[in-house]
Amino acid sequence: MTVYYPTFEPVVNPLTMVTQVRALPMAGEVLKRVGNRVEPDEVVARTLVPARGQRFAVARQLALAEKDLAAAVLVEDGADVEAGDVLVRVGRLRQRIWRAPIAGTLSRAEEQQGYLVIVPDSQNYELRVHIKGFVAAVEPYRSLTIQTPAALIQGAFGFGGEQHGVLRAAVTDPGDELLPEMLDERSALSILIGGGPIGVAALARAVELRVRGLILGSITEEALRSFLGYHGDADWDVGGSGWLFPPATARDFPLTLMVTEGLGRRPMNGPAFELLTSYDGSEAALDGQTWLHGREQRRPQVIIPLTRADPAGIPPEPDAEQLGIGVAVRIVSDDLLGQVGLIVGLPRRMQALGCGARYTVAEVRLTDGQTVPVPLGNLEALGAGGKGR
């Protein structure tokens, strides 16, 4: 599906310290100080974002010579204009006029080339954190670092921006399909936990009910194509550095979606489903943004703040060195996708697998007792047990 660079960091972590930097697009006012608590809907910083000027080929539209445009402009350079204002008038008997298409400030700097520019007013920009936590650091006029003890689950891919709401388990088994009749008015403004796949009708029903987010085990390619209105194989083309995801057709996805396993009809892996459903009714933050190309990857994730957790008892952030014997892992290779087990061996020598290639592998004991060799690049670490409440 893409060029994948494993990090070996746990994708299901019942207790970790989540650290996120929230930055303004340009210098502005930071409203919080170090140590302050923050809520998901709270505005923590704000600024004014200048708009980009829009250039209009006025001379060409009025069939006017470029050099004659300056004499026909009725408004001074730098004047404020409203949409619909007459800015240019040409002729006497059969007058031709040009009205401002948008409001803003007029610039006549390019009138000798036949163009007028209108710069819209600056827009107020308010920064929200979308998670509950506390301010750990502040960069004046620019950003805040937010930390919160939380349970964290990452997915394979997703759509949509950041949302927050109450988790609600819509199914009872990690393999259950999320059906339209399982959604009702209680689903509004919530983040629903599904199990296996979902169909187009259920997706449409979720949008109708204003569901904020969906967490699913899988989704079929057909359902994804139909719901997003894909127009052929071009949407799935692989670029020079991997699958450029999501394609442009998915940028305005009407809700936030996180898929834990991938395309197809697969159940959600057990540890993820158990952890999510154990927090049924709790507040959570869901982010569907996905970058699956290059080494600067970003995977969709759901964060469940645990405000009562003792920071002193939170384990350090995991790294690749912790992928050792006894570590719980999830397999992402195609033949064993979604299965979980424990690493019981790490042979020093590379092993030849069925395809003939040689890999550095881990010996993984699956839940059915079978032990299989799996390339390290096809493993994702799972967090330790416990709910962290």
- Is the pLDDT reported for residue 320 higher than 60? no
More confident residue, 356 or 349: 349
- Is the pLDDT reported for residue 189 higher than 50? yes
CA distance 325 to 200: 42
Q: Among the listed ranges 15-24, 195-204, 239-248, which one has the minimum average pLDDT value? A: 239-248
Burial of 294 (0-12, 13-18, 19+ CB in 10 A): exposed
Shared domain for 229 and 362, answered yes or no, is no
Confidence label for 133 from pLDDT (cuts 50, 70 and 90): very high
In-domain check, residue 204: yes
Considering 119, 140, 161, which residue would you say is the last residue of a domain? 119
Shared domain for 337 and 233, answered yes or no, is no
- Is the pLDDT reported for residue 158 higher than 70? yes
Shared domain for 302 and 360, answered yes or no, is no
The pLDDT value given to residue 71: 92
In-domain check, residue 262: yes
In-domain check, residue 244: yes
- Is the pLDDT reported for residue 335 higher than 80? no
Shared domain for 342 and 237, answered yes or no, is no
The pLDDT value given to residue 213: 93
CA distance 180 to 203: 8
Q: Are 373 and 362 in contact (CB under 8 A)?
A: yes
Residue type, 235: D
In-domain check, residue 269: yes
What distances in angstroms separate CA 47 from CA 24, 42, 124, 143, 340, one per listed residue?
Answer: 7, 15, 6, 11, 47
Q: Are 287 and 153 in contact (CB under 8 A)?
A: no
The number of beta carbons lying within 10 Å of the beta carbon of residue 75 is: 16
Domain that holds residue 189: 12-17+148-311
In-domain check, residue 228: yes
Confidence label for 69 from pLDDT (cuts 50, 70 and 90): very high
Considering 287, 311, 335, which residue would you say is the last residue of a domain? 311
CATH code for position 93: 2.40.50
Shared domain for 264 and 351, answered yes or no, is no
In-domain check, residue 340: yes
**Which residue matches tokens 């692989």?**
238
Torsion of CA 311, 314, 316, 318, to 10 degrees: -140
Helix (H, G, I), strand (E, B) or coil at 360: coil
Whole-prediction pTM value?
0.74
Shared domain for 104 and 187, answered yes or no, is no
Single out the residue of 337, 340, 189 nearest to residue 270, CA to CA: 340
Strands 358-359 and 123-128: unpaired
Q: Are 191 and 215 in contact (CB under 8 A)?
A: yes
Tokens at residue 388, please?
């962290």
The pLDDT value given to residue 16: 87
Shared domain for 296 and 329, answered yes or no, is no
Single out the residue of 49, 43, 192, 191 nearest to residue 130, CA to CA: 43
CA distance 364 to 374: 7
In-domain check, residue 288: yes
The pLDDT value given to residue 380: 81
- Is the pLDDT reported for residue 287 higher than 50? yes
Shared domain for 370 and 280, answered yes or no, is no
The number of beta carbons lying within 10 Å of the beta carbon of residue 238 is: 13
The pLDDT value given to residue 326: 84
In eight-state DSSP terms, residue 41 is T
Shared domain for 207 and 303, answered yes or no, is yes
CATH code for position 357: 2.30.30.30
Shared domain for 163 and 194, answered yes or no, is yes
The pLDDT value given to residue 1: 40
Q: Phi/psi of residue 217, each to 5°?
A: -75, -40
CA distance 105 to 374: 62
Confidence label for 252 from pLDDT (cuts 50, 70 and 90): low
Shared domain for 247 and 376, answered yes or no, is no
Tokens at residue 136, please?
């750990």
In-domain check, residue 27: no
DSSP letter for each residue of 216-274 = EEEE-HHHHHHHHT--SGGGG-EETTEE--S-GGGTT-SSEEEEEEEESS-PPPHHHHH
- Is the pLDDT reported for residue 143 higher than 60? yes
Name residues whose C-beta falls within 8 Å of residue 76's C-beta, 6 or more positions apart in sequence: 106
CA distance 115 to 361: 64
Shared domain for 231 and 358, answered yes or no, is no
Q: Among the listed ranges 10-14, 129-133, 210-214, which one has the minimum average pLDDT value? A: 10-14
**How many domains does the structure of the chain reveal?**
3
**Which residue matches tokens 């194509």?**
225
* H helices present in 110-176, as ranges: none
